[in-house]
Amino acid sequence: MNAPLRRAEIDLDAYRANLDLVRDWMDPVEVMAIMKADAYGHGLEPIALAAVDAGIRWIGVLTVPAALRLRAIGVGEDVHLFTWQHDPALDFRDAIDSAVDLGVSNAAELQRVIDAVDQRPARVHLGVDSGLHRDGATADAWPELVSLAVAAQRAGRIVVVAAYTHLAETSDDDDSAAVAVFDRAVETAEDLGLDVPMEHVAASLAGLERKEFRKDMVRMGGNLFGIPGADGVSAADLGLEPVMTLTASVAKTKRVPVDTGVSYDYTYRTATETTLALVPVGYADGVPRLAQGRVEVAIGGKRYPIAGRVAMDQFLVDVGDDEVQVGDTVVLFGTGERDELTVLEWAAALDTIGEEIVCRIGSRVPRVYEGHDVEGRVGEYLRGEP
Amino acid sequence: MSAFTGITVDREALIANYATVAEQVAPAGVIAVVKANGYGHGAVEAARAFVDAGAEWLGVADIDEGIALRRAGIDEGVRILAWLHAPDEDFRRAAQWDITPAVSSVSQLAAAADSEVPAVHVCVDTGLSRNGAVESEWAELFDTAGRLLRGGARTRVEGLMSHLSNASRADDLDQDAALQRALDGLAANGIVPDMVHLAASAASIAVPETRHDVARVGLALYGLSPFPDRTSADLGLRPAMRVTAAVLRTIPVRAGDGVSYGYTWRAEADTRLAIIGLGYADGFDRALGNHVSVRIGDRLFPVVGRVAMNAMHVDIGDADVRVGDEAVLWGDPASGDPAVEDWAAAIGTINYEVVARVGRSVERRTT
């Protein structure tokens, strides 16, 4: 159909351009492309294949099941897949057999990995909690983790690939303090007889702003999707392009008289006789109820505010006397090329960050892939070819 | 033994809620609404439960949602109504998959007839200003329907529907009066629909006059209350969704330590944190941190710091909480679990949004 109810256009050219730009900035430091949460809502498999086509050799996917999805579609072992959040009930055998890199946070977790080793040694990254208090070992627990790793590596059960941490990105001083914690942990590890071949610390924001934090590899997520995290910095300022554009088709227009109540509770009333256009995207699709009165959508190059409550499947806009027709494209957010808001502008209007907006776009919204990369392995995948 | 991370849907609660609602609205019938992945509960499992409870009709927003139910084996003995259509929808898929469309315009009615859809419901706007035909369009729409009938078209107008604003009882009754005008308009064209439906969860309980032949009920069937001042238990309903997560690890922190991105929370004293692996990408808002609690064992513990993309932090103090323990985000408050309404209130929204937005990334199982 030419005018689908709703869709998220995923521009693989933009992703590729962002990847090239970020790798250029980071050169010679390695870039790990982060694709957790279904590639921030963009669709894991196509994004991963596009990145692999572009030469990426490190991908971060958070969980083992996500990594195994990529191995299953032919992402080979020349591409390292880093995972770091593991369900306590997870059996690590498949991950180890498929050479999935495992971030571990404490000795108990590492012991579970070691116990799952059969033939191949497990590839392990040792996590340091440097202040985010989410994953990684605290300073007290770190020596036990390292000692176990040293013993297991000597026994041929594991290969220690790296030490890593996550930064809280609260302030420069806090991040500096966190990196100092990490550096001390690496020294401790070396004192305990561990050779640390690789260190990765910085994610998108710190990777850009704090060159000294880049170490051996930078984990890049938001930047690659055109969603930089720094306050007051737009994607365009950095030369990044938003990858996702959320669109819908006007499903209905209606002429209504003055003082017509609109949507639940009649929180909006028309100021004059006017035309209302129905946009078939609602809070179940990721447009929050709170968006009422805060964001605008673009139709035919003009911005319109949301009129009345956002419902589960739809909302309305008041288009006045403008010529808006059923089937017209409504751009909710995107690059700005069609005069729409960018995802960062949406996020600012909703007091949140761009990542939350794109991750939230629901499964009823089909992802439609565009860009020259559809010629590569990602193209074969999207066409269902082997 | 590690706890389940995901949504557990209580099938018995869905069935019991259906029975409660059906009894309350009788002699009117029920269209069980399973749009938006069954309000986040899982559309197919919810549909099966409601069908087993006696539902003869299911409601979805769009035809794709209806087709997904058919593909999953909801057979043609169960009718499926869909009311939100793409601009160039030709309704051939609706005919092929036995989905009954509600039509809001002359062009939709004509397309449905061209595709030989056996039955349509006519959707009119009686005040909500959403996807029904506005009153100024009724004459042409009803005339077209009448001509189709007289012309021997295979498509019959089986139903008339509208949707309420819930703005106030008086507003709802005004809409009901408008619906009566629509019925009169159809009758003047020789059409008397078998099924008139207006009320959804809220009005089917609060404004009984609006029940007509059948009520389209969603939220209440999942055991949740559409009213801010009445609980599920007040309405005799049982929340069917329980969200749990395994504790991934526990971490000691010192007084003054900041937690999670932006350090929006700092420990006042030495304490311990439990990390659970659900975050905003799964539908749990970033802004929930510092405003909600989870249940572990028999106690409630606060979620602290920003909710991250895939994780949140819980302050467990010196409680005996271990890796693999179950944290309950929300469930049935009658059994001591936090209420989903607490999670909604914490971010200024309603229970509908919170349950509908739990993503497909979250595993669902039915007990």
Question: For domain B241-366, which architecture applies?
Answer: Beta Barrel (2.40)
Are residue A41 and residue A85 in the same domain, yes or no? yes
User: Which of B40, B131, B280 has its CB closest to that of A359?
Assistant: B280
A297, A213: one domain: no
3-state secondary structure string across chain A: CCCCCEEEEEEHHHHHHHHHHHHHHHCCCEEEEECHHHHHCCCHHHHHHHHHHCCCCEEEEECHHHHHHHHHCCCCCCCEEEECCCCCCCCCHHHHHCCCEEEECCHHHHHHHHHHCCCCCEEEEEEECCCCCCCCECCCCHHHHHHHHHHHHHCCCEEEEEEEECCCCCCHHHHHHHHHHHHHHHHHHHHCCCCCCCEECCCHHHHHHCHHHCCCEEEECHHHHCCCCCCCCCHHHHCCCCCEEEEEECCEEEEECCCCEECHHHCEECCCCEEEEEECCCHHHCCCHHHCCCCEEEECCEEEEEECCCCCCCEEEEEECCCCCCCCEEEEEECCCCCCEEHHHHHHHCCCCHHHHHHCCCCCCCEEEECHHHHCHHHHHHCCCC
> Do residues A140 and A269 share a domain?
no
The answer for B 179-238 residues in CB contact with A (under 8 A) is none
In B, which residues are within 8 Å of A5 by CB distance? 62, 84-86
> For position A277, which CATH number holds?
2.40.37.10
Q: Does A4 touch chain B (CB under 8 A)?
A: yes
| In a shared domain, residues A248 and A221 | no
Mutation to test the A interface, candidates B2, B67, B129, B263, most A Cβ within 10 Å: B129
Which residue is closest to B68 within chain A, CA to CA?
A: A364
Say yes or no for a CB contact (<8 Å) between A261 and B165.
Answer: yes
Same domain, A191 and A290: no
Show which of A196, A225, A254 is a domain's final residue.
Answer: A225
Per-residue model confidence as pLDDT tens digits over B52-81: 999 999 999 999 999 999 999 999 899 999
B149 touches chain A (CB under 8 A): no
Total number of domains constituting chain A: 2
pLDDT computed for residue A2 by the predictor: 60
Given CB atoms, is A112 within the 8 Å cutoff of chain B? no
Is A318 in CB contact (< 8 Å) with chain B?
A: no
pLDDT at A373: 61
Which residues in chain B touch residue A327, judged by CB atoms under 8 angstroms apart? 87-88
Average confidence (pLDDT) over B100-105: 97
Choose the mutation target among A111, A132, A358 for the interface with B, i.e. most B CBs under 10 Å. A132
Judged against a pLDDT cut of 60, whether residue B157 lies above it is answered with yes
Task: Tell me which of A192, A225, A258 is where a domain ends.
Answer: A225
- As its CATH architecture, domain B11-226 has Alpha-Beta Barrel (3.20)
- What is the average pLDDT across B155-179? 96
Which domain does A174 fall in, by range?
A: 11-225
In a shared domain, residues A162 and A251: no
* B359/A contact by beta carbon, under 8 A: yes
Pick A138's closest partner by Cβ from B166, B252, B308: B252
B131 touches A at CB < 8 Å: yes
Mark yes or no for CB contact A362/B84 under 8 Å.
no
A2 vs B88: CB contact, 8 Å cut-off?
A: yes
Domain check: are A195 and A305 in the same one? Answer: no
The dihedral region occupied by B44, where left means phi > 0, alpha psi between -120 and 50, and beta the remainder, is alpha
Position A386 scores a pLDDT of: 56
Render pLDDT for A112-135 as a digit per residue (tens, 0 to 9). Answer: 999 999 999 999 999 999 988 888
Taking only residues 155 to 174 of chain B, the set having a beta carbon closer than 8 angstroms to any beta carbon of chain A reads 165-167, 171
pLDDT tens digit sequence for B246-258: 999 999 999 998 8
Instruction: Verify that A70 and A132 share a domain, yes or no.
Output: yes
Query: Is residue A2 in some structural domain?
Result: no
Q: Which residues pair with B80 in a beta bridge?
A: B58, B99
Shared-domain flag, residues A178 and A274: no
Task: Provide the CATH number for the domain around residue A186.
Answer: 3.20.20.10
The reply to whether A381 falls in a domain is: no
> What pTM does this model have?
0.95
What are the residue boundaries of the structural domains of chain B, listed by start? 11-226, 241-366
Does residue B35 carry a catalytic annotation?
Answer: yes
**A236 found inside a domain:** no
Note whether A180 and A253 are same-domain residues: no
Residue of B nearest to A270 (CA): B129
Q: What is the pLDDT of residues A299-350, one digit of tens each?
A: 999 999 999 999 999 999 999 999 999 999 999 999 999 999 999 999 999 9
Closest partner residue to A326 (CB to CB) among B84, B87, B311 is B87
Q: What was the pLDDT predicted at B258?
A: 85
CB B128 to CB A359 under 8 A? Answer: no
- Ranges in chain A, pLDDT < 70: 1-2, 373, 386
What residues of chain A lie within 8 A of the CB of B261, using their CB? 132, 168-170
Which one of B103, B309, B358 would you mutate to disrupt binding with A, by most A Cβ within 10 Å of its Cβ? B309
Per-residue pLDDT tens digits for B220-238: 999 999 999 999 999 999 9
Sheet strands side by side (includes B156-161):
B195-197, B156-161, B119-123, B99-103, B79-82, B57-60, B29-33, B214-217
pLDDT value at B299 more than 70: yes
pLDDT 10s digits, B196-214:
999 999 999 999 999 999 9
Last residue of a domain, one of A162, A196, A225: A225
- ipTM score: 0.95
Please answer yes or no on whether A174 and B261 come within 8 Å at the CB atom: no
Give pLDDT, residue A1: 46
CB pairs under 8 A between A and B: 213
Residues A261 and A340 in one domain: yes
Same domain assignment for residues A140 and A170: yes
